[in-house]
Structure 1
Amino acid sequence: MKKNINLLIVDDDHFILRSMTRMLGRIEMLKLFEADNSSLVFDIIKDNEIDCILMDFYMEGITGLELMRLLKEKKNTIPVIMLTGQGDEELATTIMKAGAYDYISKKRLSEQDFAETLTKMVLNAVSHKQEKDEEDRSLLALELSEARYRGLIENSPILIIRFFPDEYMVSFINDFFCTYFNVERFSILGENILHLMPKSNHDSFKNYVENISPENSVASFEIKTKSDGELKWQMWTIQGIFDSEGKTAEYQCMGADITDLKKTQMQLMDQKRYLQSILDSQDNMIIVADRNKVYEVNISFLQFFGFYSTDDMQKNFDRIADMTVEMEGYMSPEDSKTMWLENVTVDMAEGQYRLIAFRQEGSDNIHYFSMKFRPLSIESDMFVVEFSDVTALEERSKEFENRANYDALTHIYNRRRFLELLDRGIKNARQFNHDLSLVFFDIDHFKNINDTYGHNIGDEILKMLTALTSETIRCSDVFARWGGEEFLILIESTTLENAAKMAEKLRKTIMGYEFPEVKNVTCSFGVTSYHPDDTVESFIGRADSALYRAKESGRNRVIGMKKKTG
C-alpha cells in the first residue's frame, strides 16, 4: 500500500465539494485534488498520478456513467467511488455493473463517521487496484512466457513430444516433429507413444520411463526409425514433469537427429574394418601406437602374444614386457612402456630399425624380430611399428659367429678369437697397469693316444679335458684351443706366481681324472706374465718356451718363465 494516496474529488456542487475537502483534508495520508467538470478531471489525471476518484453521479452536462465511459475509452483504470443521492440504490446497482468500485450516499455526509468510512473505502479501492494490477502483470508475464515457450518449441529444430503416464497417451507434438516424421498433428495426439517407435525399442523405453523419479528425472537413449523408407537415428532425452506431491504429471521427450553422425560412424567403422583386413593380411606383426597406448594391432600380433582381442591386449600389456628377452644390442622389456618409441621422432622414424627378442609362454625358444618404425602422419605423434621375424637369419648369423669364434670340436674359443681377446687384454693391462698372465699347455703323448686308441677316442679326450678345465678355471678366464692338443688360458689381474698355482691345480685335477679307455692323461704347462715391452707374438712365444721346457724336464709339470730384462 502506498504511503500517500492521491484522491480526486469530482462534484459540480461547490458546497458539497468544499465540505468533502474539509472533512477528508484532516486525513494525513490523503492528498486531495478538486474538479467541478469533466474537462478538469482529465487535465488533473493527465498531470498527476491519481489513485482513486470520488465522483458525484449527477453533474451539469454529464452523468457519472458517461464520465466513467470516457475514462475507459482513454484506457484509464483508476478505481471510482460514486456519490449518489437519496433513494438511488437501484441506480447504484447500475453504477456497480458499469465498473465502479463502490458507492456511498450523500445523505451520510452528516454522519460523524463519514470521513472514516469514506477513507476505508478509498484505501480498499486502492488496495484492490494494486492487487488487480499485480495479477494482471503476472498473468501477462505468464502469457508472454507461454507464448515464448510455445514459439520456441514450435519453431525449434528439436523434436518435442509429451505424453501422459496413463496409457502413454500423446498430449503434444511440435511442428518439427510433424515435419521430420511426415505426420499430421491430430493423427498423433491421443495415440500411445509406443506406436510411434519400433517394437524392438518398447521394453527399453518402458524401462527408462519406469525408472524416472524426482531424484532421477532424466534419461537418454538412442532410437533408429524408418520414415518414407529412409533410416533415421535420433538421440532422445526423456524428462519427468512432477506435480507438487512429486507424482508424475507428464513426460516430455526431446530428440535430436543424429543420422549424419551415425552414417559417419558407420563409414568410419567400414573403413576401420577395411584397414583391419589389410593389417590382418600381413604375415608380419603390426601395431599402430603412440608413446602411451596401442590403438590397433593385426591378428598376427594377437596370436603371437596370446591375446583374444585388442582390448585384452591393452588390459594385459605387461605380458609383452614379461615375454621380452633382455639381450645386449636388443630393445629391453622397459622399452615396451613407451611402445618402443622412446627415442623415435617423426622426422627420423622412416626406415629406422631396432632388434627385439621374445620368448613365448611355455617355450624355451627365442624369437628374434626386426622392428621398423614409420610415422602415421607428420602432424601426429603416432607410428606404425612392423615386426619382421628374423629368427632364422639371427640363428644363421649366430651359427656363422660360432664357426668364426669357437672351436667346432670342443666349443671353446678358437685361435682367431683368442688372438682378438688377447690383444684386447694386453691393451687393458697397459691402460690400467694391471697384471696379465698366460698359461700354455698341451696333452702329453697325445699322438700315442690317437695311434693306440684311435682318433675318436682322442677327440673324446679333448672334449672331456676341455670340460674339466672349464670347470676348474674362473669364468673370467679366457680359454681357447690353440690347435691339435694345445690350449691357452689368458688370466687377467693375476701375477705369474698365482697363475702358476692355478696351472698346478689344473695339472693335478687332470692327472687325477679317469678318462675312458685311456684312464690316465697328463699335461705339461708353461706359464708367463705380461711385460710392457711384450707384443702378442712375444707374449705367446714366451709361454710356448716355458711349455717346451716343461716337456724337456720330464712332462706333467708346470714351468713359469719371466721376461728377461737388462
Structure 2
Amino acid sequence: MDDLFLSKINLLYVEDEESIRNILAKRLSKKVNTLYTAENGEDGYNKFLENSPDMILTDVTMPKLNGIEMTKKIREYNRDIPIIILSANDESNYLLSAIENEVSGYIMKPLDKDKLYDVLEKNAKAICLEKINLAQQQQIKKQQVLLQNIINSERNMTFLTDFYSLKFANNSFLDFFGIQKTSEFKNDVITIFEKHEKFLDRDIVKDEFCAMKFFNEIEKLDETKRVVLIKDRNSNIKSFYISLSKLDNNLFLVSLTDITKMTLEKIDTEQKAYYDGLTGIYNRNKFQEVFEYEVKRVHRYKYPLSIAILDIDHFKNFNDQHGHLIGDEVLILIAKKIQEKIRETDTFARWGGEEFILLFFECTKEDAKNKADFLRKEIEKTYHETAGRITVSIGISQYQENDSMDDLFKKADDALYRAKENGRNRVEI
C-alpha cells in the first residue's frame, strides 16, 4: 500500500528497548511527516502532551507506565487519537484492557512490517479525511462572510462559478482578462485553463466534463500538483495555484494565486538537474531516471529494451589540435544530428565527455543495431568546417531480466570497445 496519507501524519512511537526502537524508528521516519520517539510510558505521555501527535504506536510492556496505563492517561485528554498497541504473544492478557481503552489496533510481535504499515496507513487515511471534512465544514460556515469581503480585497483572482458561467469575480480577475464586469466574460470558465501535459486542465476529467468530477479530481492531488496555466488579456501565459471550495454540487469558489515566478524557477532548476548544459539534451541523471521507469514497464509488458553507447572517434584530437571550443562545437553538432534522427519514443542523453547514450524503446539488440548503423552513417556525412569529418563508434546491448543499469552499460561499453578495436566508425553488439 502506498503511504499517501501516512506521509502527512505526525507519529509518536513508544518503545523501551533501545535497539528495537532505533531500528523501527529509522524505517518509520521515512514514511511519516514527523516522528517522535519515547523510551517508556511516562516519557510517551509527556511527549504526547508536548507535541500533540496525530497517532501513537506503542509497546505494551514498559517501565514507569506500560502501554495500557499510558493509553488510559492519554484518553483522559483525547478520546479520539488513534493508538496502536504492539504486543508479544505472551501478553494477550492485555488485549481486553486495550479494547476497553479503545485502541485502534493491536498487533502481535514479531512484527509483520507490511501489516503494521497497512494499519498505520488506514488510520492515517481516517485522520486526513477527518481533517479535510472539518476544514470543509469550517469553510462552508465562513462562505457568506468571505463572499462579502473577497470581491475586491484580494490580490488573488477569486471568482464563483459552475465552471461554465461566471457568477461573480473580483477586480483581480476582471483586470487579468481586461473586462469591466462579469457579464462581459462570454466563454465557458473551464476553457481559461490552457492545455498542457504537466499542468491541470479540463482533461483531468476523463469522461464528459462535470464540475463536481473536476473538483474531486483536484482534491485527490497533492498540493504541489494543483497548478493551472492561464492566458491573460495580452496573451501572456501565467501559472497559478488553484484552490477550490465547494458551495454545493454545482457551485464552487475558486482562488488563483500567481506562482509564475516560482514555476519559472522550478523549470530552471529542473533544466539544470536533467539537461546537459552544453548540448541541451538529457544528462546522465535524467537518463537513469527514464531507464528505471522503462525497466518497470519491461517487467510488466515484456517488451524488448536496448541501449547504444556512442563515442566520437578521435575526439581528443579535436581538442588537442583545435582547442576545446571546437571540441564543444563538435559535441553540439553531433547531439543535434542524432536528436533530429531518432524517434520521439527513444531517449537520448549525454553520458559524459564525448560519450552519448541512447535508450531504444521496444527494440531488440538486432533492431537497435540497424537503427544505430543508420545514425552512424548520418553522422559520417557530418562535416565541421574546422574539425573536418566526424565519425562515431557504437556499442549495443539488450536488457535482460534483472540487469542493473551498470550491467547493461558494461555490456554496451564492451561492445563499444570492440568497435574501436575493429577500426572505429562501426557498430558492435
Q: Does 1:307 align with 2:179?
A: yes
Amino acid of the residue matched to residue 308 of structure 1? Answer: Q
Shift of 1:473: 1.2
| Correspondences of 1:246-257 after superposition (within 5 Å) | none
Q: C-alpha distance in 2, partners of 1:520/1:306?
A: 57
Shift of 1:513: 1.2
Residue 402 and residue 533 in structure 1: after superposition, are their counterparts in 2 closer, same or farther (change >3 A)? same
Is there any run of 5+ residues in structure 2 with no aligned partner, and where? 1-143
Q: C-alpha distance in 2, partners of 1:456/1:480?
A: 20
Match of 1:437, SS state, is: strand
Residue 515 and residue 357 in structure 1: after superposition, are their counterparts in 2 closer, same or farther (change >3 A)? same
Compare CA radii of gyration and give the structure with the larger one.
Answer: 1
User: In the alignment, what sits opposite 1:327?
Assistant: 197
Q: C-alpha distance in 1, partners of 2:225/2:318?
A: 53
User: In the alignment, what sits opposite 1:86?
Assistant: none
Q: C-alpha distance in 2, partners of 1:292/1:478?
A: 40
Q: Does 1:318 align with 2:188?
A: yes
Q: Does 1:464 align with 2:333?
A: yes
Q: C-alpha distance in 1, partners of 2:360/2:413?
A: 16
Amino acid of the residue matched to residue 239 of structure 2? Answer: Y
Q: C-alpha distance in 1, partners of 2:324/2:388?
A: 16
Q: C-alpha distance in 2, partners of 1:522/1:462?
A: 12
Q: Does 1:369 align with 2:249?
A: no
| Correspondences of 1:244-393 after superposition (within 5 Å) | 279-290=151-162, 293-313=165-185, 316-318=186-188, 321=191, 324-332=194-202, 342-344=214-216, 354-360=226-232, 363=235, 365-375=236-246, 382-393=251-262
- Kept in 2: contact 1:293–1:339 (CA 8 A): no
Q: C-alpha distance in 1, partners of 2:212/2:229?
A: 13
Residue 307 and residue 499 in structure 1: after superposition, are their counterparts in 2 closer, same or farther (change >3 A)? same
Q: C-alpha distance in 1, partners of 2:372/2:397?
A: 11
Match of 1:508, SS state, is: helix
User: In the alignment, what sits opposite 1:394?
Assistant: 263
- Kept in 1: contact 2:348–2:357 (CA 8 A): yes
| Correspondences of 1:89-108 after superposition (within 5 Å) | none
Shift of 1:389: 0.5
Structure of higher RCO (CA pairs closer than 8 Å, 6+ residues apart) = 2
Match of 2:228, SS state, is: strand
Residue 434 and residue 337 in structure 1: after superposition, are their counterparts in 2 closer, same or farther (change >3 A)? closer
The structure 1 residue matched to 2:311, chosen from 425, 439, 442, is 442
Shift of 1:367: 0.8
After TM superposition, the score normalised by the length of structure 2 is 0.59
Amino acid of the residue matched to residue 237 of structure 2? Answer: I
Shift of 1:322: 5.6
Q: Deviations over 1:1-26 (max 9, x none)?
A: xxxxxxxxxxxxxxxxxxxxxxxxxx
User: In the alignment, what sits opposite 2:424?
Assistant: 555
Q: RMSD value over aligned CA atoms?
A: 3.2
Residue 542 and residue 397 in structure 1: after superposition, are their counterparts in 2 closer, same or farther (change >3 A)? same
Residue 455 and residue 353 in structure 1: after superposition, are their counterparts in 2 closer, same or farther (change >3 A)? closer
Match of 1:451, SS state, is: helix
Shift of 1:341: 7.3
Q: C-alpha distance in 2, partners of 1:489/1:327?
A: 24
User: In the alignment, what sits opposite 2:103?
Assistant: none
Amino acid of the residue matched to residue 215 of structure 2? Answer: N
- Kept in 1: contact 2:215–2:244 (CA 8 A): no
Q: Deviations over 1:402-433 (max 9, x none)?
A: 21111111121111111121122223223222
Q: C-alpha distance in 2, partners of 1:521/1:527?
A: 20
- Kept in 1: contact 2:160–2:169 (CA 8 A): yes
- Kept in 2: contact 1:290–1:341 (CA 8 A): no
Shift of 1:463: 1.1
- Kept in 1: contact 2:394–2:419 (CA 8 A): yes
| Correspondences of 1:118-133 after superposition (within 5 Å) | none
Q: C-alpha distance in 2, partners of 1:499/1:352?
A: 39
Q: C-alpha distance in 2, partners of 1:304/1:440?
A: 50
Match of 2:215, SS state, is: coil
Match of 1:343, SS state, is: helix
Q: C-alpha distance in 1, partners of 2:241/2:213?
A: 14
Residue 353 and residue 384 in structure 1: after superposition, are their counterparts in 2 closer, same or farther (change >3 A)? farther
Q: C-alpha distance in 2, partners of 1:486/1:443?
A: 7
Q: Deviations over 1:355-402 (max 9, x none)?
A: 211134663x421111112356xx896443111011111111111112
Shift of 1:559: 1.1
Is there any run of 5+ residues in structure 1 with no aligned partner, and where? 1-271, 561-566
Match of 1:283, SS state, is: coil
The structure 2 residue matched to 1:544, chosen from 406, 413, 426, is 413
Q: C-alpha distance in 1, partners of 2:249/2:354?
A: 64
Q: C-alpha distance in 1, partners of 2:232/2:294?
A: 38
Which has the higher mean CA deviation after the structures are superposed, 299-308 or 388-397?
A: 299-308
- Kept in 2: contact 1:297–1:310 (CA 8 A): yes
